[in-house]
């Protein structure tokens, strides 16, 4: 968790959102619902082990941030990825709702698998070549599903619509593709 000010917002939120999902909690010490929501956000986000970061903003002390988010009531919570707002809510929420909100921000299996950060460019290129080889072994639908899933913000429904298959088939193809890729790459790296 990081306490963010008008002066640190650009670095602590905007720049940080390029590498991790950031949840901005706009609150005030006098706000009862904020006191209820704050510990829930902290608990749920702490469980992500750094995949989601909580940025707390005291609106009384940081009016520029409040204006930027056009906050009319608090608590107001916004999720940012890649420098833009991707989700949010206003008002205290139960832990189950907060957990669903945070879970939507976690990397998908596809994102986790394909965004591993190798030590240098040569390793990255080698991994890309291996992944291309493995993907070429998949069925056309599984390969297309895997590739569509890498597009920013694509839901299973949207991928299915593009490919002419159901949401459940998208999940099935993705699971097959990820399992096949992991198995092939593990075998290649191990032997």
Q: What is the DSSP letter of 40?
A: H
Active site residues: 31, 34
Q: Could you tell me the CA-to-CA distances from 37 to 56, 64, 69, 143, 171 in Å, in that order?
A: 12, 22, 19, 42, 33
Q: What is the DSSP letter of 107?
A: P
């Amino acid at each position: 968790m990081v306490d963010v000010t008008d002066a640190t917002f650009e670095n602590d939120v905007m720049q940080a959102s390029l590498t991790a999902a950031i949840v901005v909690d706009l609150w005030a010490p006098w706000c009862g619902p904020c006191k209820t929501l704050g510990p829930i956000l902290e608990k749920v986000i702490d469980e992500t082990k750094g995949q989601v970061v909580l940025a707390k903003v005291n609106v009384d002390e940081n009016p520029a941030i409040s204006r930027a988010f056009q906050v009319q009531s608090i608590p107001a919570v916004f999720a940012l990825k890649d420098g833009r707002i991707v989700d949010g809510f206003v008002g205290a929420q139960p832990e189950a709702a907060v957990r669903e909100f945070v879970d939507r921000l976690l990397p998908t299996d596809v994102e986790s698998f394909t965004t591993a950060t190798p030590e240098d460019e040569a390793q990255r290129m080698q991994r890309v070549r291996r992944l291309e080889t493995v993907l070429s072994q998949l069925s056309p639908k599984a390969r297309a599903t895997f590739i569509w899933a890498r597009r920013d913000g694509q839901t299973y429904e949207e991928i299915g619509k593009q490919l002419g298959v159901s949401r459940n088939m998208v999940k099935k193809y993705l699971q097959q593709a990820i399992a096949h890729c992991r198995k092939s790459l593990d075998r290649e790296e191990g032997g």
